[in-house]
Amino acid sequence: MHDFVVVGAGSAGSVVASRLSEDPSVRVLLLEAGSGRVPRESRIPAAFSKLFKTEYDWQYRTAPEGELANRSLYWPRGRMLGGSSALNAMIWTPPAREDLDGWEAAGNRDWSWADLEPTLARAERSGQDPRRPGEVGIDVAHPDAVNPVTEALLAAALASGIPSNNGFRAGRMDGAGRFRVTQARGARVSSATGYLDPVRHRPNLTIVPNATVDQILFEGRRTTGVRYRATGTGAAKASGRVVLAAGAIGSPHLLLRSGIGPAPLLAGHRIPVVADLPGVGKNLQDHLAIGLMYRCREPVTLAGADRLANVIRYLIRRDGPLTSNVAEAGAFLRLGRETDRPDVELLFAPSFFVDHGLANPPGHGFTVAAILLRPRSRGEVTLASADPLHAPTIAANYLTTGPDLELLEAGLVRAKAIAERPEVERFRGAEFLPGPAENLERFIRTRSETLYHPVGTCRMGAGPDTVVDDRLRVHEAEDLWVVDGSIMPEITAGHPHAAIVMIAERAAEFLRHGR
């Protein structure tokens, strides 16, 4: 019997398990479906896309997206200790002040920027200070040099009138600058390396990798534990209160399979209803990205990053191009009418990024991507089958509502204006994508891809379409919480990992103090 069973050791689950087990009288079991071995491609920053479509990736796909030429988009999600924080692009952008204040204004007590700033500060460590024994947190480094192509793009962005915002700190997103990254001494720091590795020795913390939870177990509406499958030992049960941290796809999928969700859907799959919550799986939001690419006239991009000389340099000195997180800098812009915060981001990368980096052409190139930060369109994660081995159906419904397409197109126009400024001339070769004759709308519909930020599918709040309350307790169930990116009522205007670590730190405060 454990006090808490945490499901999923990703960005959020690693943090919750670590914080809960600080109290030696609290027994915590952390179950992770993926591997306990952290592959080399996770540690070496520039190698992260080599983990795509491997055993470390859930390799989801959306249903055909009607507004994206009926394409079914590939959605990688991390499947290992650290979850998606072990294969992400390491960008650390705390949420915009307005995002959190918006969550609180929607009725969620104690979730304002002022409430959460100290929580976030607790999560962040400088990437330079050595850790004290047992000290947890995410190392955040601010690289003092980036690729010359990135520098040129940044100079062009600033020269075009975008204000400087180096490091994107303290809730202010507007402007252009270099990103801070979740690294220490040139290596990735995931939630698992930052929060679990320093405390693995605790006798009250049990971490079980290769353990996939199939179902949450209940007596009436009280949660009693989970049923899971572990490699080697087979089916097993674990009892305790349950904290679900399986991510924006995994958490709603598990709730639905366990009888928490829209009653008609559950009935259709012959799943006994524990709680009729129509909002489970709804409110899916993601950042859609479209990349403009050019050939580069000088051989300075990341195309040669994995040459033997760079590998040796990385192994000996932990520096050089292999420490790049690829998307090294960006700009947050307000392009829509009447917006009180950035709604489009530009990303600057000294590399092609064709088909998630899996189909880059030979030679040197660079990318300026435009990202829709505050989509109006909403999607859904739903059950395809009650069989736990069957992936859920994901419908992102990209570009189905309001000005989403218009904004992304405006972002692309800005991206092009920056890439074609004189500051970039030394590097800029022929346009590779979309190519001169291509129409921008068609380009977006046929080429845009996820920026890998799905959230919102177990929405926090009090309305009929919400799943958890502002203490992250699942409505109409006892002893069951959801703590991960799925609880966001509205997607944040930055990269979500920092916000999700913050959510997990907050949840641990609630759980420890029984608030």
Ligand X SMILES: Cc1cc2nc3c(=O)[nH]c(=O)nc-3n(C[C@H](O)[C@H](O)[C@H](O)COP(=O)(O)OP(=O)(O)OC[C@H]3O[C@@H](n4cnc5c(N)ncnc54)[C@H](O)[C@@H]3O)c2cc1C
Distance CA(243)–CA(479), nearest Å, equals 8
In whole angstroms, the minimum distance from the beta carbon of 482 to ligand X comes to 10
In whole angstroms, the minimum distance from the beta carbon of 226 to ligand X comes to 8
In whole angstroms, the minimum distance from the beta carbon of 316 to ligand X comes to 26
The answer to the question of residue 88 lying near ligand X (CB under 6 A) is: yes
DSSP class of 358: T
Site for ligand X in 226-255 (CB under 6 A): 245-248, 250, 254
User: Is the Cβ of residue 88 or residue 324 nearer to ligand X in the bound state?
Assistant: 88
Residue 156 in tokens: 């062009």
> Residue 445: enclosing H or E segment and its boundaries?
helix 440-447
Distance CA(407)–CA(422), nearest Å, equals 25
Per CB under 6 A, the list member of 6, 7, 288, 410 interacting with ligand X is 7
Per CB under 6 A, the list member of 6, 28, 89, 271 interacting with ligand X is 89
Residue 298 in tokens: 């000088």
Site for ligand X in 91-110 (CB under 6 A): 91
Q: Given the DSSP bridges, would you call strands 449-450 and 288-296 parallel, antiparallel or unpaired?
A: antiparallel
Distance CA(346)–CA(333), nearest Å, equals 8
The answer to the question of residue 180 lying near ligand X (CB under 6 A) is: no
Per CB under 6 A, the list member of 87, 157, 349, 369 interacting with ligand X is 87
In whole angstroms, the minimum distance from the beta carbon of 14 to ligand X comes to 8
The answer to the question of residue 213 lying near ligand X (CB under 6 A) is: yes
Residue pair 397/378 in contact (Cβ under 8 Å)? The answer is yes
Distance CA(152)–CA(158), nearest Å, equals 10
User: Is the Cβ of residue 196 or residue 410 nearer to ligand X in the bound state?
Assistant: 196
User: Is the Cβ of residue 58 or residue 313 nearer to ligand X in the bound state?
Assistant: 58
The stretches of 247-300 forming alpha helices (DSSP H) are 247-257, 263-268
Residue pair 244/254 in contact (Cβ under 8 Å)? The answer is yes
The answer to the question of residue 84 lying near ligand X (CB under 6 A) is: yes
| Contacting range for ligand X; rule: CB under 6 A; set: 78-86, 195-203, 332-340, 405-413 | 78-86
Burial annotation 289-325 (CB, 10 A radius, 16+ → b, else e): bbbbbbbbeeebbbbebeeeebeebbeeeeebbbbbb
Residue 248 in tokens: 């924006």
The answer to the question of residue 205 lying near ligand X (CB under 6 A) is: no
Find the residue with minimal CB distance to ligand X.
10
Distance CA(102)–CA(359), nearest Å, equals 39
Cis peptide before 163 (omega within 30 of 0): no
| Contacting range for ligand X; rule: CB under 6 A; set: 4-12, 371-379, 405-413, 461-469 | 4-12
Site for ligand X in 17-46 (CB under 6 A): 31-34
Dihedral over Cα of 193, 138, 486, 55: its sign: negative
In whole angstroms, the minimum distance from the beta carbon of 304 to ligand X comes to 22
User: Is the Cβ of residue 9 or residue 412 nearer to ligand X in the bound state?
Assistant: 9
Residues annotated as catalytic are 453
Q: One-letter amino acid identity for 370? A: A
* Interaction mask 475-504, ligand X, x per CB under 6 A: ---------xx---------xxxx-x----
Residue ranges in contact with ligand X by CB under 6 A: 7-13, 31-34, 76-79, 83-85, 87-91, 212-213, 245-248, 250, 254, 452-453, 484-485, 495-498, 500
